[in-house]
Amino acid sequence: MKARIIDVGKYVPNLSISNEDFTKIMDTNNEWIVQRTGISSRHFSEINTSEMAYQAVLNLLENTKFNKEDIEIIIVCTCTPDAYSPSVANLVKKKLKLSKDIPSFDINAACSGFIYGLKVVQGLIESGLYQNIILVGSENLSKLLNFDDRSTAVLFGDGAGAILVQGSNQGIIDTLIYNKDDINGAINIPNGINIETPFTNNQCSGPAHIQMKGQDVFKFATKVCINMLKEIVVKNNLTFNDIKCIIPHQANLRIIEYAIKMLGINKDKFVITLESLGNTSSASIPIALDSIKKELKKGDKLIFVAFGGGLTYGVSLLEW
C-alpha cells in the first residue's frame, strides 16, 4: 500500500504587498529585492494560520468532492500557530464541524514541515493505520516579521496548501527527512512567551521575530538541496530524465538557480512560484503543486525538496 496524493487545494490571502510598498516603510528598493531574492510581491493575511488552513481544506474538499466525514486524521505543518494550544489542526477540525472525534495534530519542522508531514502520512498509510488523511501546510509569517530588518521582512508571505492522501497502489515512493544542528544560528524565530513566575529568576526576552544569517542559510540550503536531489534519484535507480518536475521550497530564487546550475538540470523542470508569493514556509510546496496540478498526468514522477529552520531538510519522490 502506498500513500497517494489525490488532489490539492490552497488559500492565498487577497492582500498583495509589492516591493514598492516596502519602499514606503524602509530603506530598500525593488531592484535590490528582486536581484537578491527573485521576489516581486507577497501576500499578507488578516486571518490567522488556522483559518487559512481551513480555507485551503475547503478548497481541497471542493476540488475533490471528498466527503469531509470520511477524513480519518488531520495534520497541519506550521511554525506559526495561532496559539500554543489548541493546535492549528485541532482548530481546523473544529471549523470543519465533523461528527466524529478524529485525531488531529501539528508538526513543526519550519520550512521543511510539509516534507516531514509527508513522511508521517506515508508511514500512517503504508502501515495500514489510516486510509484518508488531510495534510496541510499553513503559515502566517507576516506576524513574525521585523519591519525594521530589510534583509528578512521582504522575504516572507502568508498562505496555505492542503492535500488529500489516500491508500493506493502508487504514490509516494520515498521520503527522506533530516535535522542538522544549527550551530551558527542561521535561522531563528527566538523568544515566544517569557518565563515569568513568582518562583523563578525571570528573564524577559524580546519579541518573536524571524532572524536569519543570509550567507549561512544560502550555504546550507544549496548544499542540502543539491545533495538530497542527487541522493533520492540514485537511491531509487532513477535519473533526472525520469522526473517530470521538481518543486523546491520557495525560499529564494538565487538558492534554486544555484542548485540548478550545480546539478545541470533544465530550469524548466523546476516549479517556481516565489515571484508573487515570497517564502510561505511549509505552505510553499503544496501551493506550488496546486499551480501545476492540471499539467500532471497519472504516473508522472515528481520530487519535493525543502530546507528550513532547525536546521531541517527533506526530500520526497512520488508518482502522481
Partner 1 sequence: MKEKIKGIIKDILDIEESDIKDDALIVDDLGADSIAVMEIVMEIEDEFDVEIDTETIPNFKTINDIVAYLEK
Cα–Cα distance measured from residue 29 to residue 313, given in angstroms and rounded to the nearest whole number: 31
> Which residues in the 233-272 window bind partner 1 by CB under 8 A?
254, 258
> Which residues in the 114-143 window bind partner 1 by CB under 8 A?
none
Helix (H/G/I), strand (E/B), else coil: 211: strand
249 is an active site residue: yes
150 part of the interface to partner 1, by CB under 8 A: no
Q: Which helix (H) or strand (E) holds 218?
A: helix 214-235
By rule CB under 8 A, what string of x and - marks binding of each residue 173-192 to partner 1?
A: -----------x--------
| Binder of partner 1 out of 205, 215, 236, 266 (CB under 8 A) | 215
Cα–Cα distance measured from residue 314 to residue 307, given in angstroms and rounded to the nearest whole number: 7
214 part of the interface to partner 1, by CB under 8 A: yes
The crossing angle, in degrees rounded to 10, of helices 253-263 and 214-235 is 40
Cα–Cα distance measured from residue 75 to residue 117, given in angstroms and rounded to the nearest whole number: 7
By rule CB under 8 A, what string of x and - marks binding of each residue 27-46 to partner 1?
A: --------xx----------
Q: What is the DSSP string of 242-259?
A: G-SEEEE--S-HHHHHHH
Residue 213 gets which letter from DSSP? Answer: -
User: Which span sits near partner 1 by CB under 8 A: 16-24, 194-202, 214-222, 288-296?
Assistant: 214-222
CB of 224 to partner 1, least distance (A): 13
213 part of the interface to partner 1, by CB under 8 A: yes
Burial class, 85, CB count within 10 angstroms (exposed 0-12 / middle 13-18 / buried 19+): exposed
209 is an active site residue: no
Question: Which of 181, 196 has the CB closer to partner 1?
Answer: 181
Residue 112 gets which letter from DSSP? Answer: G
219 part of the interface to partner 1, by CB under 8 A: yes
Instruction: Give residues in contact with partner 1 (CB under 8 A).
Output: 35-36, 184, 213-216, 218-219, 222, 254, 258
Catalytic residue numbers, as ranges = 111, 249, 279
